[in-house]
Structure 1
Amino acid sequence: MIQLKNLTLRRGTKELLSGATANFLPGQNTGLVGANGAGKSSLFALLRGELIADAGDLVVPAHWTQAHVAQETPALDTPALDYVLDGDAELRELQQSLAEAEARHDGEAIGHLHADLAHIDAYSAEARAAKLLSGLGFAPDAIRRPVASFSGGWRMRLNLAQALMCRSDLLLLDEPTNHLDLETVLWLEDWLKAYPGTLLVISHDRDFLDSVCGQIAELADAQLTVYTGNYSQYETMRAEKLARQQSAFEKQQRQIAHLESFITRFKAKATKARQAQSRVKALEKLERISAAHVDSPFDFTFDTPDNLPNPLLRLDAARIGYGDKVILDRVNLSVEAGSRIGLLGVNGAGKSTLVKLLAGELAPLSGQCVGAQMLNIGYFAQHQLETLRVDQTPLWHLQRLAPNTREQELRTFLGGFNFHGDAALAPVGPMSGGEKARLALALIVWQKPNLLLLDEPTNHLDLEMRHALTLALQDFAGALIVVSHDRALLEATTDRFWLVANGKVEAFDGDLEDYRRWRLEQLAESAAPGNGDAQGVNRKEQKRLEAETRQRLSVLKKPLQTRLNKLEKELDALSTQKAGYEAFMASEGAYAEENKAKLADAVKKLGEVSARLAEVEEDWMTVQEELEQLEADA
């Protein structure tokens, strides 16, 4: 178990944690949430031993193996598969020891090492690493390529695969869904739900947190508060807590006003001076309750576009790709005014390539891309953050777009994106990815586009900013095309989908759940017996999937079975107590005068035990039904 005991953590002059106390149990999946800069990554650094607490204690079991995702990936010649295998340090150590023993011709050591390797299932390690890479979107022919040949986003996936390869007791994941597409996020969710160790994950993806986490730890105002349940349940409980806090604050303000009024009226009167003085002391000793802050730091909307031609943009038999490589062929589509379209498809299918063509960053290899005369495109993609001037400020960037607008108006606008005061005058270079993304979005909003093209706009954005962006997009009057792994954003802002697959772009008839089912059917068909030369491999794959299902079921059943066993023990104890009280009350001696007090106590205790017995029996039935449902679903 991980324990934080009255822990204080500072970075420079900023206090990130003050007297924090919390427990994280083995096998528990916890989502760590909080605004950017609240200290989430610093808490991870503390858990990894890279920082030292300023006060209090942090207890992590010494024998636990930790895994986390490296932030840097050197340009290595190591094949991707071997790089992922490096994540299992114990495997690599045993392999090294075996090579040394074989060089010495030490038969006894070789025998022991082979036994140790078998114990950690080393002989399936390469297959497990390949499976991880496949799940994270790597093609079969890519796993032998050197690490240096992959782009930055794919290297981050390699780092994630390496962390998942480690047979860890504690897994720390910081924004793991960034750089992943929707397909891969769904795969990662399933993997993490079956992970047997303790998981702590920082994420701003509410659907991901809802799917994976059984509790939420909120870091805010230097306090760490743990809520039982997933993210949606946390939101409800937090809202209730803030409402109670605000009510207590308002009640105290009335009390303070009453005390101050009494002091003001009577401090000069001799007959009331002592009472007034006692109220002064009471006021000084009063522990002040803070007002509940529930307002978002973000406040912006998309203004109505000056023009809304229809259609805004049209593709006629467009062939899309790079050089001789065709990714999408003979694409015919029209973007109408008011369209709200989400792009679906596996990674590499061509979603981002299509968006680049629509944005004018890519010309069609053949065919036409025709935009309306008054087309005004707002295009957001991660690579555009690199075009921001690192030596200049948010205000400077906005002044370039609006040189004739008053500075105060520009600063007010930037304030809606949480660039208040000096933040609007700070250089872009040291800013976080989230701050740069906010600035890029602010520049787009200012230009009043009539067509928005958004390629993964929520990467690096915290939950508050994601919510604000979702609300703004819901009121956007122009047309919207969005690529995103954030299901909450897609569901809230789009009303239809285009499927990018097999070199084509076609309308998809259904919602995200329909798309997930469709993908599972596609995978099942490709793995069905009789498909080409892969029949033997597919049978192995089927057995592997069945084994994974059994393992996942075992992991899900374990906490329920533990709870059931605990309830059964309590039922036995309560039943014994109840029988004892009933036996006493049935005896003649219970009603003797000298046992009057004992009889009254027995009657009271019997009532308490019976009530508790009824509660435990109901809990037992609930857990038993959950176990039976798990078995049925499997």
Structure 2
Amino acid sequence: MAACGDILRSEFPTIDDDMYHYVESILSGGAEDFEDSNELYEAIGEFLHQVAEEKTELDIRNICDRLLDIMKPGSKSLLNNRTAKVLNAPVHLASMAANLENNVDDIKSIWVMQRDDTLKVDPRKLEKAEAKLQQKQEKRSQDSGKAPPIVPKLESATASQVMNKKETKMEAKGTNRSQDIRIENFDVAYGDRVLLQGADLILAFGRRYGLVGRNGLGKTTLLRMISNGQLRIPSHISVLHVEQEVIGDDTPALESVLQCDSIRENLLAREKEISAQINSGSNDPELNTQLAEVYAELQNIESDKAPARASIILAGLGFSADRQLRPTKEFSGGWRMRLALARALFSRPDLLLLDEPTNMLDIKAIIWLENYLQNWPTTLLVVSHDRNFLDTVPTDILHLHSQRIDPYKGNYENFEKIKTEKLKNQQREYEAQQQHRAHVQEFIDRFRYNANRASSVQSKIKMLEKLPELKSVEKEVEVVLKFPEAENLSPPIIQLNEVTFSYSSDNFIFSNVNLGATLDSRICIVGDNGAGKTTLLKIIMGLLSPTTGMRHVHRNLKFGYFSQHHVDQLDMGVSSVELLQSSYPGKPIEEYRRQLGSFGISGDMALQTVDSLSGGQKSRVAFARMCMGNPNFLILDEPTNHLDIETIEALGKAITKFTGGVVLVSHDERLIRMVCKELWVCGSGKVQSIEGGFDEYRQIVEKELEAQVK
């Protein structure tokens, strides 16, 4: 340790005694606390940077290498071989893990390695050292006549994980071949907020898991941490997280999907290269042998069937034969997200992570995806708030709540039944124990000072101490949404007569539309993406004028419009109260807060910046702003995209109780069934009402999908 102290004193001559002793106490823990210089840098690098601001990260890392060489002679430095790895496609790490001794740096550049939990810091020494450093920085700033710089605190998600020693050893030897995933005893935090604590996540190969829970509890964060390696899983398991849309370029959509199969692409490139050499007149006999081997491998992976498989996936997600040949740059963001989903389904990684996959799809594509995923061959972990999707696809449900994850067998409907019964039993057990405690305590209080009963009293006291401490069931706060009372109007309210609309002379969206709505209407508009649903909404509101035909509306009609992009258009830098204040100025603060409270944004949440809220909370803010104008007719375009299941249920109840009219565009089957009294179907240049409602529409869609497969 004396040699390490000499290095610290020579490299950091300005280091004060408190900081020196603090760093020295970490080093004195022994070399066994550090696998490599990376872990040593993680432990002391930040403090050394504060002592010597003029030194670069490379300088500090070199010093850590020297310190570790003294503590652990012959240790291997990772500094010179450190490279960044970007996982933007499925990767298979088995070859990298086969000989870990030779490429340990590659593995660690992909995984976020966690330090052993046994390595602890002395909080008192740390606090004292940081206080001393702060005083020095303030004094330096005063001497220079400048105010100390304000460094904004950036909140980001962090994770820690206790590794299974047996699996770690198998991983190091390259002998771990298990396809199951076990992430045990891990914590996840976002800034100062703990999302998960001591949680376990076990994913059995071939099972399909639905991850559910309230908005803002960390479901999306958990998926990101698995995909980017902050939560460690076996290296040979390939992972793909569908989160970002495909970058637009000149690559056709079908080719973009085929390119995901890197093995096939490399074999085809090799075939092309060898064929070119043979055609150019090469007499090398090895070329024919190599070409035969390439053909055999292509046949083995059924390369000739790949285009058909990719085309089926694209067609199921709504890409017509013409769209499949278009360059990706011609597609909008929503269609590029569909393309990213198609690439993931075609790739078939060992672990597929999907976050709200139904948000970007119409009902036809959702039904196709439900059917397709029921035969998914590997492990699937999906976050979804689509109740029907969760009843159809998952084999298991993972319930995220109270900073932990509880597993349940079966679909969402089964999960609800088991959870309800489990909570009832838990509450009964708690109440029974409370009664028993009260009865025993009564005996103790009654005979506490009775010498004849002293032994009985003591045994009762000991019995109470040994009883397990049960807790009352904490009921989740019920989500309540409340639309304002609407002004009553006498019919007719809205009437479309012989309406035709086109964006150009040869691009008719629909024609001869004859439909009407009243304040009692609960109308849902369905149809394929691009069929004109949003266009019809804009005509109803008067944002677009019919090409031909007439639109009649009541003169006192006030629309409340919730756009599917409403959440993205909010001012993210202000609080929810300030947002309402800027949209509807001149009202008391209490009124803005009361309005937000009616949509579940209350307390300190109303004073947070909009950017810090979850997607579902932002949607509630958008609802609150929409209703500040007291509309009597609501136009809701895909309002469920960011809402959790409980909030969607609350939205359905709020729509039912609303005293005005509602026209809704949605792909959420449960919401449609809850509120819909009339179904309008857009497609084939028409808008028509279906008497059989959603059941009839679903039958039509399923017949179309069957015909498509044939």
TM range (shorter): 0.7 to 0.9
1:420-458 CA distance string (max 9 Å, x none): 322101122343332221211222344432211111110
Distance 1:453 1:320 in 2: 19
Query: Which moves more between the two structures, 482-491 or 96-105?
Result: 96-105
1:24 equivalent to 2:197? Answer: no
SS in 2 for 1:227: strand
Say which SS state the counterpart of residue 360 (structure 2) adopts: coil
- 1:80 match: 253
Structure 2 residue 342 is matched with structure 1 residue 164: no
User: Paired residue for 1:514?
Assistant: 696
In the other structure, the counterpart of 1:433 is: 615
Secondary structure in 2 matching 1:126: helix
Instruction: Tell me whether 362-371 or 326-335 shows the greater mean CA deviation.
Output: 362-371
Structure 1 residues 575-634: Cα deviation after superposition (integer angstroms, max 9, x where no partner): xxxxxxxxxxxxxxxxxxxxxxxxxxxxxxxxxxxxxxxxxxxxxxxxxxxxxxxxxxxx
Question: Is 2:313 the counterpart of 1:132?
Answer: yes
Name the CA distance, whole Å, in 1 between partners of 2:568 and 2:396.
Answer: 36
Q: Report what 2:649 is aligned to.
A: 467
Deviation at 1:462, TM superposition (A): 0.8
Pick which of 39-48 and 179-188 moved more. 39-48
Instruction: Provide structure 1 residue ranges, at least 5 long, that are not aligned to the other structure.
Output: 528-540, 543-634
* Counterpart AA for 1:499: V
Matches within 5 A, 1:24-423: 24-52=203-231, 60=234, 62-102=235-275, 106-255=287-436, 287-324=468-505, 325-400=507-582, 403=585, 405-423=587-605
Determine if contact 1:309/1:375 at 8 Å carries over to the other structure: no
Deviations 1:443-479 (A, max 9, x none): 2344432211111110011111111111111212221
Kept after mapping to 2: 8 A contact 1:455/1:483:
yes
Matches of 1:234 and 1:66, distance apart in 2: 27
Deviates more, 1:25-34 or 1:90-99: 90-99
2:631 and 2:458 map into 1 onto residues whose CA distance is 64
Q: Secondary structure at the match of 1:383?
A: coil
1:273 Cα deviation from its structure 2 partner: 8.5
Q: Report the alpha carbon displacement of residue 108 of structure 1 after superposing the two structures with TM.
A: 2.4
SS of the residue 1:459 aligns to = coil
User: Which AA in structure 2 matches 1:192?
Assistant: L
Query: How far 1:191 sits from its partner (Å)?
Result: 0.9
Q: CA deviation at 1:63?
A: 4.2
Q: TM-score, normalised by structure 2?
A: 0.68
Q: For 2:187, what is the secondary structure of its paired residue?
A: strand
In structure 2, do the counterparts of structure 1 residues 86 and 266 end up closer, same or farther at CA, with 3 Å as the change threshold? farther
Helix, strand or coil: the match of 2:359? coil
Give 1:585's aligned residue. none
Contact 1:183 1:347 in 2 (8 A): no
Other-structure match for 1:582: none
Within 1, Cα distance between the matches of 2:695 and 2:627? 31
Structure 1 residue matching 2:209: 3-state secondary structure: strand
Any idea what SS the aligned residue of 1:368 has? Answer: strand
The alignment-based identity, stated in percent, is: 39
Shift of residue 100 of structure 1?
4.4
Q: TM-score, normalised by structure 1?
A: 0.75
Instruction: Check 1:338–1:270 CA distance in 2 against 1; reply closer, same or farther (3 A cut).
Output: same
- 1:304 aligns to what SS in structure 2? coil
Aligned equivalents of 1:291, 1:200: Cα separation in 2: 31
* C-alpha deviation, 1:355, in angstroms: 1.1
CA–CA separation in structure 2 for the residues paired with 1:462 and 1:420: 18
Structure 1 residues 248 and 401, CA, compared in 2 at 3 Å: closer, same or farther?
farther
Q: Which amino acid aligns with 1:440?
A: A
1:169–1:419: structure 2 CA closer, same or farther, 3 Å change rule? same
Kept after mapping to 2: 8 A contact 1:309/1:374 = no
The one-letter code sitting in structure 2 at the alignment partner of 1:343 is I
Are residues 94 and 16 of structure 1, via their aligned partners in 2, closer, same or farther at CA, if it must alter by over 3 Å?
farther
Q: Distance in 1 between matches of 2:185 and 2:527?
A: 45
Q: Which amino acid aligns with 2:643?
A: L
Q: Secondary structure at the match of 2:492?
A: coil
- Are positions 1:442 and 2:600 aligned together? no
1:426-575 correspondence runs (5 A) = 426-522=608-704, 542=710
Shift of 1:260: 6.5
Compute the displacement of 1:410 (Å).
3.2
1:492, distance to aligned residue in structure 2 (A): 0.6
Offset at 1:141?
1.7
Matching residue of 1:623: none
Q: Paired residues, what number?
A: 522
Q: Could you report, residue by residue, the CA deviation over 1:4-62 in whole angstroms, capped at 9, with x for unpaired residues?
A: 36421222544444444454333222211112232323332344352136xxxx5x5x5
CA separation in 2, counterparts of 1:366 and 1:511? 28
**Partners in 1 of 2:628 and 2:461 — Cα distance?**
53
Q: Quick one: distance in 2 between partners of 1:271 and 1:326?
A: 98
Residue aligned with 1:382, SS: coil
Q: Describe the SS at the equivalent of 1:173.
A: strand
The 3 A distance-change label for structure 1 pair 468 and 279 is: farther
Q: Secondary structure at the match of 1:236?
A: helix
The CA RMSD over aligned residues, in Å, is 2.9
Cα distance in 2 between the residues matched to 1:107 and 1:206: 57
Q: Supply the distance in 1 between the matched residues of 2:187 and 2:431 (Cα, whole angstroms).
A: 31
Contact 2:447–2:457, Cα closer than 8 Å, also in 1: yes
Distance 1:306 1:83, change over 3 A: same
Return the alpha-carbon distance in structure 1 between the equivalents of residues 372 and 499 of structure 2: 39
User: Match of 1:39, as an amino acid?
Assistant: G
Distance of 1:477 and 1:250 partners within structure 2: 42
Deviations 1:521-550 (A, max 9, x none): 45667x6xxxxxxxxxxxxx63xxxxxxxx
For 2:519 and 2:271, the matched residues in 1 are separated by 67
Q: Deviations over 1:501-524 (max 9, x none)?
A: 221111112132321222344566
Query: What is the distance in 2 between the residues matched to 1:96 and 1:279?
Result: 81
CA shift for structure 1 position 288? 3.4
Distance 1:46 1:485, change over 3 A: same
Whole-angstrom CA distance in 2 between matches of 1:17 and 1:198: 22
CA deviations on 1:206-234 (whole Å, 9 max, x unpaired) are 10111112221112112222211111111
Tell me if structure 2 keeps the 8 A contact 1:395–1:410. Answer: yes
Residue 560 of structure 1 corresponds to none
**One-letter amino acid matched to 2:254:** L
- Aligned residue among 417, 421, 424 for 2:606: 424
Q: 1:243 to 1:508 in 2, by over 3 A?
A: same
Q: 2:213, 2:400 within 8 Å by CA — same for their partners in 1?
A: yes
CA distance in 2 between partners of 1:279 and 1:248 (Å): 20
* Contact 2:437–2:464, Cα closer than 8 Å, also in 1: yes
Instruction: Give CA deviations for 1:166-217 in whole Å, capped at 9, x if unaligned.
Output: 0333322111101111111011111111222222211111101111122211
